[in-house]
Amino acid sequence: MADTKTSEAGRKGREKYSHAKADARRDKRRQEAEARQRHYDGLSLKDKLALVKGRGGSKRELARLEKLAAPKAKASAPAPTGGKQ
C-alpha cells in the first residue's frame, strides 16, 4: 500500500467540507450563552449573591459582588486637604 499513489488508490475522505453544521452548533451555543447572560444581568445584586453562594461560590465572583454590595463609606468621607497650613 505504501507504493500506491493517491491518484491510483483514490482519494480518502472529502474533497470539500461545509461548515454549515459546525457553524450552526456554534451559533446555537452563542445564543444560549447570550440568553443566560441576559437572565443573569436581570437579577438583583441580592439574587446574584444567593446564586453564587448556592452553587459553591467562585471566590473572585463572590468578592466582586460583595464589593458592589458594600456601602461606599469612602465616598461620603471628606477628602483630605493636602499639607500643613
Per-residue pLDDT of 26-84, as tens digits, reads 999 999 999 999 999 999 999 999 999 898 878 999 999 999 888 765 555 566 666 66
Let me know if residue 81 belongs to a domain. Answer: no
Show the domain range for 49: 20-69
Read off the pLDDT band of 10 (50, 70, 90). Answer: confident
Q: How many domains does the chain have?
A: 1
Given the C-alpha cell 461606599, which residue does it identify? 72
DSSP letter (8 states) at residue 49? H
pLDDT score, position 70: 86
Let me know if residue 8 belongs to a domain. Answer: no
Torsion of CA 65, 71, 75, 80, to 10 degrees: -110
Let me know if residue 28 belongs to a domain. Answer: yes
Let me know if residue 29 belongs to a domain. Answer: yes
Cα gap 65→58, rounded to integer Å: 11
Let me know if residue 31 belongs to a domain. Answer: yes
Compute the chain's Rg from CA coordinates: 29
Residues in Cβ contact with 46 at an 8 Å cutoff, skipping those fewer than 6 apart = 69
Cα gap 54→51, rounded to integer Å: 5
- Contact present, 49 and 72 (Cβ < 8 Å): no
> Of 1 and 53, which is predicted with more confidence?
53
